[in-house]
Structure formats: structure tokens, C-alpha cells
Chains A and B, each alone.
Chain A
Amino acid sequence: MPGRIQSIERAAAILRLLASGARGLSLAEISRSLELPKGTALGILRTLQHVGFVEQDPESGRYRLGGGMLSLGTRYLDGNELRTRALNWADTLASRSGESVRIGTPHKHQVLVVHHVFRPDSTRQTLDVGALLPLHATALGKVLMAFDPLVVPEEVTSVETDAPVRLTTFTRHTVASMATLEGRLDEIREQGWGWEAEELVDGEVSIAAPIRDRRGVTVGAIGVRGAVERLRDDSGRPDMEQVSYVRDAARAISRELGVTPY
């Protein structure tokens, strides 16, 4: 493991300092507060200015947080808003795939179901909006993990030693090794969608794809879940027609998020 990089630590300290003051700070104030030579502070400020994290007031010459920093802070998307924007597309996916549809967002090391569309048949089904699903045993969760480095299973954060992480198993197919899971996540990043077979419930398969906002940040995932005989083909691969329906829906919702809300 390489050592810590001092200039990044200093840059972080400058950002924290700027975030605490509303009126902006002069170069002298910044170098004094952080006990940095003026030249060093100026170099870091100019770099941060270049990437849009800091801006300088042309009148007073004071520094403050830039627009690039503020947009990092708004990466949170309200789950109810996501559902509203996704409503028609999720219905279309359920109708084309003939399976139930769920949209999930990351929530405290789990997947929060923010939207659920029933499978279009006459069976009795119950709405499970608000339910929490495990990250590593669902297609929704795998996709969220693959495209957002901050989304990790609980087990990863609680282990303090270097011992291999063991994930909770739900069936004999659940991937319990973090190393194996990492391999699967690489595949998902490569192909742009994810799936699992019987890892959460015996006899069930789920397929999911990421929903991205206008900055390309993954804010959720949409997927179908259904019987293994319907969603998996003879070669043991997921039904590619279903995969294309899921990806179409994810793309349509991502496009929808690119426009300003009503």
C-alpha cells in the first residue's frame, strides 16, 4: 500500500477551510490558518481552481468553493423523485418483460427498493417499496456496487484485520467470497449490466442495469426478477432479450434524469 500524499491532504484541508467560511478567504488568511508557506498554498489553490473546486473573487481576490465542489454535494437524488421520473419506463419494462420490476438505491450497505411494479399477470402480489435487499446477492445491489465505489456490503466495513471477508449466504449459490464478488463486479463494469441466479431465492433470477444522472453518476438501478426457467436460457446464461429490455429502460430513465425536473 503506497503512503499518503501530502499535497492532497493539504488540498483537502484548504477545501474544508473554505467550506467553513461564507465570505471567502484571502491567500494570507489561508496560509496563516494552515501554517503553509504562501507559495505552497498558492500552488494548491491554483490547481483546485483549475479543476473547478475553488474560485477567486475578481474584485476582492478572496478564494471560495467553486461550482464543481457544490455539484459533488448534490449527488443525492430523492428516491421519490426517482420513482416519479421512472414511472412510465418501469411500467413499459414490466409490460415488455412480463416480470416484476424494481428500482433500488443504495442505503446503509443495502439496496432500498424505491419502486416496484407488479408482474403483469393476475396473481396476488404485495408492494415491497421500502424493503431492504442485500447488496451482494441481488442484481440491483451488484450493479450499484460495480458503479459506485462507496457502496460496499456491511461485512467489508466491519472487518478490521486482513482476513478474507465472508458475506452472508442466503442459498447455496450466494457468492460469499469478497474476492469472487470483485471478479463479478469487474464483469458488470465491462458489460454495463449485471445478473444473479438463485443467490437470494432458490429458483429466481434477477437482471439489472444502472440509472445515471446527467453527470454520469450512478444514482440507482432498475431490474427485473422472475423464475429461473423464464429468465435463464439453456446454456445457463441470462435471456439476452430480457437483458436488452432492462438496459433500454435504464437508458430511458437516465435520459429522463438529464432534463430539468418539472
Chain B
Amino acid sequence: MSQQYVAAIDQGTTSSRCILFDRDGRIVSVDQREHRQIFPKPGWVEHDALEIWTNVEAVVQKSLQKSDITPDQIAAIGITNQRETTLLWDKKTGEPVHNAIVWQDTRTDALVHALGAEKGQDRFRSKCGLPLATYFSGPKIRWLLDNVDGLRERAERGELLFGTMDTWLIWKMTGRHVTDVTNASRTMLMNLQTLDWDEEILEAMGIPESLLPEIRSSSEVYGVSKGYLAGTPVASSLGDQHAALFGQTCFDPGDVKGTYGTGSFLVMNTGTEPITSQNGLLTTLGYKIGDAPAVYALEGSIAVTGALVQWLRDNLGIISTAPEIETLARTEDDNGGCYIVPAFSGLFAPHWRSDARGVIAGLTGYVNKGHIARAVLEASAWQTREVVDAMNADSKIDLTTLKVDGGMTADNLLMQILSDVLDAEVVRPMVAETTCLGAAYAAGLAVGYWPDIETLRANWHKAAEWNPKMEPEVREREYHNWNKAVQRTLGWVEHDEK
């Protein structure tokens, strides 16, 4: 029999990719295609779901052809996707009834406040793990039903289907209307205990259950593909951050992965019981493999990490490319007393303060651009420390290793600083494409391409490792100073300036 591979489709915010993996978890072929970002109004972001589907078909075909692989060599298809992005389409014709509303879109701002009513943003938190916020799918569905002519009636008559991008792709490929627990956990509509749609929330949000897909595990055969890969099982679905957790083989409670890009996402495996955060984190699904119990997770996202480096490049012009931040930062041994808190649009986890704005604190005549470059890198590390402290407090498990991925992991100085401020080992895995790898792993497990998660663990190799070198007194002093700087960001916006 010829060599078999697993195809992972990553339907992301700016592009769709297909990566083929071999049995050792190595990348064999990649293809990628960007799609249009549609901005109908300030704060609104949409995608054309048919364009995305065309791109997905193209990248799948191209990734095979690039490496002379035939469709019969694909053992399974796995899917990972941008989370929360919301689509409604006609059950009969398959035509979307509106562009997909993207997760960043803030059109549901007023609706979200109204839904909270006197109970506030945590109205549904104990059931779905999430605060009311514009990101999540539930309010986006409600907005479409309220604002697009005829949709409410058609929905009541059972003519429409809802899906996040995983559901859309699986439906296009197999004709089945399903989603997985991780994607469902980002709608605000799923009950974390029952892993089923919550009638009370549906009622409160005014969403008919007939719209919704069946919730399945993250790793099982949902159906068989039509088209180019006809006959191939479609066997996994995971939201992007959940796929990265799985791809980093964070299979044990207390395992944490951090993805460092323009923003950063930290996710901790908390085992088979959901933990309600007392410290400003989101409770979410980690993954669910077939009939095995679901694994839960705590998530903390940081809005501005790599984006601060880009700001230094684009708005201040101190560096000409992002990687030069490391060269500049290495011209000094410390931050010279300077701290930067990049609260560009408020502070997220664990503070959740929308009235905060960024500060550069501790300036003296001594501070030069090398110190500022260091403060920029340290800002990513201290923000991580705040989220990790919250995770440790909620889970009662102390972090010992942070598994990192994403573009910023190329910055060795940042990785060292991370290790220093967390007082923990920081490791980068050999395959940086952990999101696709996670989707491939889940699909491969479902069809027996990989026998068990122990095999996946054995595939995981360290590409690099950083260990703490900072003296405890220095760490304490610097954390104290960072906290002082954070205090100075609070309450900057005095009125609702929108």
C-alpha cells in the first residue's frame, strides 16, 4: 500500500490552508490562499463564505498536487478554524443568506449589553463559561435574525442552518450538519456540563434550536467527503486555539500552551471537570476524543503582544523589521527602569478594564531606545505572567512548563525573558504549525492512522528550550514595578468616549 497522509484544513481569519502530515507528524506539503476582508461599516467585519469554500477546495487539491500525492493516499481530513465567526445558510439551496460575521466584528455591542440586562455580562457565565461579549456566535445569530429581512420567519419555519466555519465546511464536504464541542463552546449557547444546547440560553437569546448543528466530539468520523477527496472520512473539528493545545500534546491537567502572534492566547488543560474562573479567565472545552470524557480548559487571551512590536516599527519607526526588536533590545542588559503597558484598547484577562489605556512609565533622561525595546519584549512576558498567575490560582496547579508556538517564538530574547519572569521552563516544539497538527492528530486518531495519544506524545520533539536565569529578588522587584505601571493605566478613559 502506498504511503498515507492526513490532511489538515486550517480555515483562518485571513486565509485558508491545507497541510499534509505524515505518520511522524512531519509537514509534507502546504498550500494557502487568502480571502477578502469585507468592511461594510466601521467595526464590522465579514467574510464571503462561498469564496472561503472555493479557496478550501483549491488549497486541498493544490497541497496534494504539489507533492504528487493522490486522493486515495489521504487517510483522513481534519478541520481547524477561526472561532465564533457566524454563518446562516438556506438548508435546501445551500446558499448563504448573508456574509459570515467575523469574530472581531463589534456590531452586537448594544445587543450584548441589552442581553445582559440587570444581571450584567456574567448572566450566562455559570452555564456556558463565557461573559457576554461581541466575539461569541450567539449574539451574532440573534443580530442576523433581527436585522436581515425575512430571516426570523425563515428560521422559525426551519429553512435555515447555522454554523461556525467548521460546520460550514463539514456540511459542504459531507452534507452533515454537525459541529464539535470546542466550536460549540464559543457560541455561548452550549451548556458546559451537558455538552448540549442550553434551552434557557436559547430562549433568552431568542434563537430557534432548529438552526443549530448536532454537537459531536472533536475526533470522530462525521461523514465521508464528496468532490476531489471523495470517499475520505472527515474526522476532526477543533477551534484554532483548541487545536493548538492538542497539537502541542497538552494532554495532562496543568499543561499550558501559549501562541504568540500579534496577540497571544494561553490555554491550560484542566482535566475532565470545568473550572469556573475566579480570576477573569474563560472556561472552555479543551477537546473531546470520541467517546472519552471531554477535557476542559481555561483560556486567557492578551490583546497586544506582537502588535506592540509592530507599533514600534510602524508608528515610531525605531526598528525597520519586527525581528530587529531583539537586536535593539540586546544593546542593553536591562530596561533602564522603563515599563510599557500596551493597553491600547483596555486591559483584557485577567483585569478586564475597558477604561485602561497604554502607558510608558519610569522614563528618565537615562532611558534610550534599547531600554524601550527591552520594555516592549518584557510587556509580552509580564502580561503572560498575569494570565499564568490567574491559571495557577483557578486550577490549583503550578505551571512548570510553557509550550510555545507562533511567529514571535523566533525571538530568542523574548523566550528567555518569558522563562525568567514565569520562573518556568519554556519549550518550542519542532513543528511550529501546532494548530494544523492538532487537527491532523484528532482526525488521524479517529480513523486509526495513529493508534493512541501516547504515539502522538512520542512524535513531539523539542526544537529549543529556555530555562530561568533571573534571581528571585530581581523577579519580585520587576513584577512589583510592572504592577505599578499597570495601576497607572487604569481609569484613563473617564467618560464613554465612543
Contacts and interface: CB of A to CB of B under 8 A. Distances in A.
B461 A118 contact: yes
Contact of A262 (B322, B324, B325): B322
A43 interface: no
Interface in B316-342: 321-327
Given A78-B321, A91-B432, A96-B26, A118 B464 contact: yes
A116 B464 CA distance: 8
Interface in B426-442: 430-433
Contact of B327 (A78, A96, A118): A78
Contacts of B321: 78, 81, 261-262
B465 interface: yes
A174 to B, nearest CB: 29
A117 B463 contact: yes
A87 B412 contact: no
A91 B27 CA distance: 10
A118 B462 contact: yes
Contacts of B322: 84, 262
Contacts of A96: 26
Contact of B27 (A78, A92, A94): A92
Given A87-B410, A117-B430, A120-B430, A80 B324 contact: yes
22 contacts: A78-B321, A78-B323, A78-B324, A79-B327, A80-B323, A81-B323, A83-B323, A83-B410, A84-B407, A84-B411, A88-B432, A91-B431, A91-B432, A92-B26, A117-B463, A118-B465, A121-B461, A125-B462, A125-B465, A126-B465, A261-B321, A262-B322
A95 B462 contact: no
Contacts of B311: none
A241 to B, nearest CB: 15
A22 interface: no
Nearest to B27: A92
B26 A95 contact: yes
A94 B430 contact: yes
B17 to A, nearest CB: 13
A85 to B, nearest CB: 8
Given A87-B432, A94-B430, A96-B26, A118 B324 contact: no
Which 4 residue pairs are nearest across A and B when measured between Cβ atoms? A120-B461, A84-B410, A81-B323, A80-B326
A84 B464 contact: no
Nearest to A130: B412
A261 B321 CA distance: 7
Contacts of A179: none
B466 interface: yes
Given A78-B324, A95-B26, A121-B461, A83 B412 contact: yes
B383 to A, nearest CB: 21
Contacts of A78: 321, 323-324, 327
Interface in A61-96: 78-81, 83-84, 87-88, 91-92, 94-96
B464 A127 contact: yes
Nearest to B410: A84
B466 A80 contact: no
Nearest to B310: A262
A127 B410 CA distance: 13
A87 B431 CA distance: 10
Interface string B440-462: 00000000000000000000011
Contacts of B407: 84
A262 B465 CA distance: 26
A94 B463 contact: yes
Q: Which among B24, B326, B461 has the highest number of chain A CB atoms within 10 Å? A: B461
Contacts of B462: 118, 125
B186 to A, nearest CB: 28
Given A80-B411, A81-B321, A81-B323, 17 more contacts: A78-B323, A80-B410, A81-B324, A84-B322, A84-B323, A84-B410, A87-B410, A91-B432, A92-B26, A94-B463, A95-B430, A96-B26, A117-B464, A118-B465, A120-B461, A127-B464, A127-B465
- Residue from B323, B432, B433 with most neighbouring chain A CB atoms (10 Å): B323
Interface in A99-120: 116-118, 120
B406 to A, nearest CB: 11
Contacts of A118: 430, 461-465
Interface in A104-159: 116-118, 120-122, 125-127, 129
Interface in B465-492: 465-466
Contact of A127 (B26, B323, B324, B466): B466
A262 B411 CA distance: 15
Contact of B463 (A80, A91, A261): A91
For B24, B410, B431, the residue with the greatest tally of chain A CB atoms inside 10 Å of its CB is: B410
A174 B432 CA distance: 37
Contacts of A120: 430, 461
A224 B239 CA distance: 36
Interface in B85-135: none
Interface string B290-325: 000000000000000000000000000000011111
Contacts of B432: 87-88, 91
Interface in B414-430: 430
Nearest to B409: A87
Interface string B247-268: 0000000000000000000000
Interface in B11-43: 24, 26-27
Contacts of A122: 461
B30 to A, nearest CB: 9
A120 B459 CA distance: 9
A125 B463 CA distance: 10
B385 to A, nearest CB: 22
